[in-house]
Chains A and B, each alone.
With several copies, the nearest count.
Chain A
Amino acid sequence: MEKSDLNLLIGGEAGQGLLTIGDLLTKCLVRAGYSVVVTQSYHSRIRGGHNTFALRVSSKQVVAPRESVDLLIALNEETVNLHRTEVVEGGLILADEAYGIGSGGCLQVPYQELSEERFANIVAFGVVSHLLGLDQKLVAKTVEDAFGKKDSQLVEKNRLALNDAFNWSGQQAVDFPKLPRVADSGQRLVMNGNEAIAMGALSAGVKFCAFYPMTPATSIALNLAAQASRMGLVVEQAEDEIAAINMAIGASFAGAPSIVPTSGGGFALMTEGVSLAGMTETPVVIVVAQRPGPATGLPTRTEQADLEFVLHAGHGEFPRAIFSPGTVEECFWLTRKAFEVALKTQSPVFILTDQFLADSSRAVIPFDLKNLKPIDSGIETDPSNLPYRRYAITESGISPRLVPGMTEHLVVAGSDEHPVDGHLTEDLNIRKQMVEKRLRKEQGIIREAISPVYSGDDRPDILMITWGSSVGAVLEAAAQLRNQSRSVGTLHFPQVWPLVPDQFMAYFQNSGEVVCIEGNAFGQLARLIRRETGFAVHRNVLRYDGLPITPEYIIRELGN
């Protein structure tokens, strides 16, 4: 029996190695040519708690998590108790025979017999791989790549454990669907959202990153730190988030394209700095990896509730752009784009992601780095008008940018209102001109704005709009509804600010019911669309329990 779309759920305590099994399986499945969507759900603790690693795998392209479970890999009994009901008819539970759950719908693994305790994860991985019909060589290679080849004893033990797992599995009479073979689709990468943001930033020429650790943003900085010496950048853990953003502004002022990854609470501390970037016209890219608030909230879960906060963060008025990647690929490309817009318009630019996307590994076709155009830093070395004036009034609002110390010209940037030379002013006519100059830059940002992505029928009965990481669930829900012969369109906003009504109003007008789907309680994108266009969406599908939106969730909610 074959099944093209399987959902695996690994459950256990933190520290039990479910990440190891999950990562190995993911890598192996991607190498075998499958499409994957990983959803990680964990507690805010280091050991213990109940964590899950969901791995949806398919021979076709999949882009969203799924709720029902085909294979439950239980690393403890609690997992069986908590998730048993999610397992579908014909699904399977993989558990230590020691739990004594019986063999109905369960493959009981004699871990103790099969291996030393420390190789139990490898055994589990082996058993699952065999169940899924993966090639043992590929499986062995994946383990080798993960653990390195230096320790030959370890390599050998891993190989043996895997062997035992495959042999044992081969002897079991289990009725579990195999994945259909897929054609070789060429090299693909396994990458999660945060990794893609880090890689996107590196490709854009990031030279400075300051951060204060905060889940789920930290791994962006860690990924950059790992490459700092190779790629020639400085990654500095600041004393607090206020320092982080101010350091990034200082570095950027001095010529280093800068990024600041954080999450809601840390970002809150940066809002004064955001305003400073706006006033001094210093480019800076800020990643806000969302998690459920208010305050500390649920630090390891997901939510999309900081759109309005980020859009209005910082006192006073100045332009900005906010990107909202929905896929790992978009994390990469929109991070590049964020640097481009920040540098071109000398403004703070934001990337809104969230815990789900941050931790969600996917198969990605390698980015074509060879054909990338380098991003223009916007820094001049030879100003056309002298004396050099950092804030010269221009039609575009963009003033010539020099960096200090690189020429004989002096660069003066001021957080107070300033005349063209950057010094202090109390002249209220200048004030007015400067406000207008700064706000004119929004036109440039609008010109760069990425269109919402539409897919579906020309005049659908129902249009589902969404932003950020919920897009996968929306696309799949749409596909399912179409299977039920419903006429559905989807509109994804990879950029939520500025909104350019011309890019999307026609879709609203040509659709029946317009439903906005987002991971918050206020319906923030919907409110924003109404503010900008007057259009009130007909319905909201919202989620704010800390879990990502799934296709099933959308269909359930729409059913109401």
Chain B
Amino acid sequence: MVSIEEYGQFETAWCPGCGNFSILESVKRGLVASRLEPHQLLFVSGIGQAAKTPHYLNANVFNGLHGRALPVATGAKLANPNLKVIVESGDGCNYGEGGNHFLAAIRRNIDLTMIVHDNQVYGLTKGQASPTTQEGFVTKAQPEGVASTPFNPIAVAVAMQASFVARGFSGMGDHLTTLIEKAIAHEGFALIDVLQPCVSFNKVNTFAWYKKRCYTLSEEYDPTDWQAAMAKATEWGDSIPLGILYRQQRPTFEARLAVLQQGGLVDRETDLRELEKIMDKFS
């Protein structure tokens, strides 16, 4: 069995006290619980503080462009469906620059796990508002306070009937670990939005702020009840539900492509005889 040590220990470029550290820890523990070896995994990330995470564990990694982790992950998964592909990046990366890919990934229901470090701010570029920043939050880029309504990734994902929609909190490591394990086990697109304090730029949504508000969904909560999920999805402010908010089984994108039923593209030989027959049609 794989041990957490195999995932290594690395020096990070994060600020002391940042929520990213505990998320990294939960990710590793979730991988161990999923009995995955480093080489079976592909982490794909974008650019930002969160997007550095894959550099801090042993795995295959593609650290791409800001906002473009999902399409890279999609391409890689289609090329080799045997890879366990995990997208890990920030809220700005995934919901801001990458918003269109987020919608498309949900629609495809491709078998990926998407872990979003949601610190409600752009960390790496020094504290501008992110799509999830709350209204009125003042930054140097928004000196009058944010005028837009925050993006609620959970509500959008549930509205689109994404097949696995969850929320975690970096400050509740065991819970998050379990979520990650379940998301990996889920066949289809699995979103985990992880609340993450940014000690440098978000002085509002701090560890204490989250801690006070976050609660885990009760055992009775039925994540397959879409209407209930929709209602839960908009709960925010005084209390913030954590856990699997919505879940549904539907075929993955890969499962619907005939060509992938014979395995990944990587192993496929090019059949020039078949091509010859195809060419004949042009005569």
Contacts and interface: CB of A to CB of B under 8 A. Distances in A.
Answer yes or no: A and B touching, Cβ < 8 Å: yes
Interface string B84-124: 00000000000011011101100000000000000000111
Contacts of A195: 282
Nearest to A258: B75
B259 to A, nearest CB: 5
A393 interface: no
A229 interface: yes
B266 interface: yes
Chain A interface residue number, banded = 35 or more
Contact of B47 (A202, A237, A415): A415
A213 B125 contact: yes
Interface in B149-166: none
A243 B100 contact: yes
A133 interface: no
Interface in B38-52: 38-40, 42, 44, 47, 49, 52
B282 to A, nearest CB: 4
Interface in B117-150: 122-126, 128-129, 131, 140-144
A250 B74 CA distance: 7
Contact of A254 (B16, B79, B262): B79
A231 B272 CA distance: 9
B96 to A, nearest CB: 6
A101 interface: no
A226 B281 CA distance: 12
B123 A253 contact: no
A33 to B, nearest CB: 12
Chain B interface residue number, banded = 35 or more
Interface in A407-458: 407-416, 422-424
B65 A246 contact: yes
Nearest to A248: B75
A240 B96 contact: yes
Interface in B1-45: 13-16, 37-40, 42, 44
Interface string B233-261: 00000000000000000000000011110
Contacts of B270: 202-205, 231-232, 374
A501 B206 CA distance: 59
A230 B74 contact: no
Nearest to A226: B143
Given A234-B78, A240-B97, A214 B125 contact: yes
Given A295-B65, A412-B60, A255 B265 contact: yes
A16 interface: no
B93 to A, nearest CB: 11
B60 A414 contact: no
A232 B140 contact: no
A213 B92 CA distance: 10
A512 B5 CA distance: 64
A189 B15 contact: no
Contacts of B101: 239, 243
Interface of A: 15, 31, 43-49, 187-191, 195, 199, 202-205, 207-208, 210, 212-215, 218, 221-222, 225-240, 242-244, 246-256, 258, 265, 272-273, 276, 280, 295-296, 299, 364, 366-367, 369-370, 372, 374, 403-416, 422-424
6 contacts: A239-B104, A243-B68, A247-B72, A255-B80, A404-B42, A404-B60
Q: Which 4 A-B pairs have the closest CB atoms?
A: A250-B75, A404-B60, A247-B75, A250-B72
Interface of B: 13-16, 37-40, 42, 44, 47, 49, 52, 55, 58-68, 70-80, 82-83, 96-97, 99-101, 103-104, 122-126, 128-129, 131, 140-144, 200-201, 257-260, 262, 264-266, 268-272, 274-276, 278-279, 282-283
